[in-house]
Amino acid sequence: MTDVVGTGHVTDDPDVLAARSVDHTGRYRGRAVALARPGCPEDVAAVLRLCRDAGVHVTVQGGRTSLVAGTVPEHDDVLLSTERLNTVGEVDTVERRVRVGAGATLAAVQDAATRAGLVFGVDLTARDTATVGGMASTNAGGLYTVHYGNMGEQVLGLQVALPDGSLLDRHSMVRADNTGYDLPALFVGAEGTLGVITALDLRLHPRPAHRITAICGFTDLDALVEAARVFRDLDGIGTLELLDTRVAVLTAERLGVAAPVTGDWMLLVELTGDTDQTERLAELLSAVRSDGEPAVGVDPATQQRLWRVREAVADVLGAFGPPLKFDVALPLAAVARFATAATTVVHRHAPDALPVLFGHIGEGNLHFNVLRCAASEEPALYAAMMELIAEHGGNVSSEHGVGSRKRAYLSMSRGPDDIAAMRTLKAAFDPTGYLNAAVLFA
């Protein structure tokens, strides 16, 4: 393998492999025999051919920000890192697109778009480490999903190293291309089970001339959901985020940043447009059943202060140790009932734990995190939460993927014929099943 990627980019150092075989939360660990860091798509394909012929499993790693153990090896795997595939091409400002390597970080893509006067449509708080290849593999959503859609809606083309060691390059300069199968869509959300994404053509968007931000407080979660239902269908809605004020309390304690409003729940709203949205937002806010006056940010400094409560969530929760994370999609009508029932379930299985809820309420895409949950309490609690999600008509994964952590629960969201069809695709692309074997299927 060193002949392919170079001696400096292959290692079997036990300490390196141990550090690379643990997930982002620190809860799940695996084992690997080597780490390879190819520097070009052709080398990725060559590594796959070598591993396939040798009967060695491969686990693909990007920024290793998976929250469902999606990059944790299970079979003495070779770890294939895309970190060196980090090129960011010149932005095409006419077609509003850019060609990037799969290992480019989200922050690097955002920076290139900003310098060209454009924006990239997906944003995550893990922007400095999350790679766009990994984001496409899980069809990530994020803070602006309500406006721009998920990662799949930003992908115009893909280059993929297939399990047989060939390179597929679906690259078209036209956006309306109806010449056969939509192959890029097949690999978006496949979690690396069908091939290794090596490069992407990404859609960029015009930068809004105006934006205004507000946070409203609510005692009644149903009232917040009602407001979210109104806001999500508006032209120019940029962001719609739910925040449990227990998060705000922790943020105040850890960072000295006080909650901008009162209430048990907060709704962060941002409107964007070509004209000033201040009066429009004021009229909309006057019609919602919030508690007290909302906090409104018209200028960038005030907007940044309001956003800090949301941006700080991951760091604040992480200060209590690795949270147990549940990424769930719910019908909006079920959100309030789920929040109450989930808290009850947590206290039943982990009495000393602290549950918090936040996420992208416009799509019912929520993150239910449990702090101070002991490892011994996790198995029973996880199974109970999966059942609760299904009981409320939800999906066990909304944007983090299935990984290996949720593979036993795939049948809660997909029927047997659906799963059989996915297995058929997997077998067609990867007959020996050596690529990302721990992911998706039980």
Q: What's the token pair of residue 254? A: 């850890």
Torsion sign over Cα 120, 121, 127, 130 = negative
3-state helix, strand, coil in the chain (%, to 5): 35, 25, 40
Residue 258: what pLDDT? Answer: 82
* Cα 293 from chain centroid (whole Å): 32
Mean pLDDT over the full length of the chain: 91
Tokens 């799509």, located at residue: 363
Which are the contacts of 68, defined by CB distance < 8 A and separation ≥ 6? Answer: 327, 397, 400, 401, 402, 403, 404, 405, 406
Q: Tell me the pTM.
A: 0.91
Strand spans (E) along 385-441: none
Segment 155-175 shows an average pLDDT of: 91
3-class secondary structure, 243: strand
| Residue 395 CB burial class (10 angstroms; 0-12, 13-18, ≥19) | middle
Q: Identify the CA nearest to 211 among candidates 273, 160, 151.
A: 273
Confidence of residue 67 (pLDDT cuts 50, 70, 90): low
H or E element: which one contains 198? strand 196-206
Give yes or no for residue 252 having a pLDDT over 90: no
For residues 142 and 120, the answer to whether their CB atoms sit within 8 Å is no
Q: What's the token pair of residue 354? A: 């602290």
Dump the DSSP string for 403-417: TTTTGGGGGGTS-HH
- Give the model confidence (pLDDT) of 129-160 as tens digits: 999 999 999 999 889 999 999 999 999 999 99
Across the strands, what pairs with 157?
201
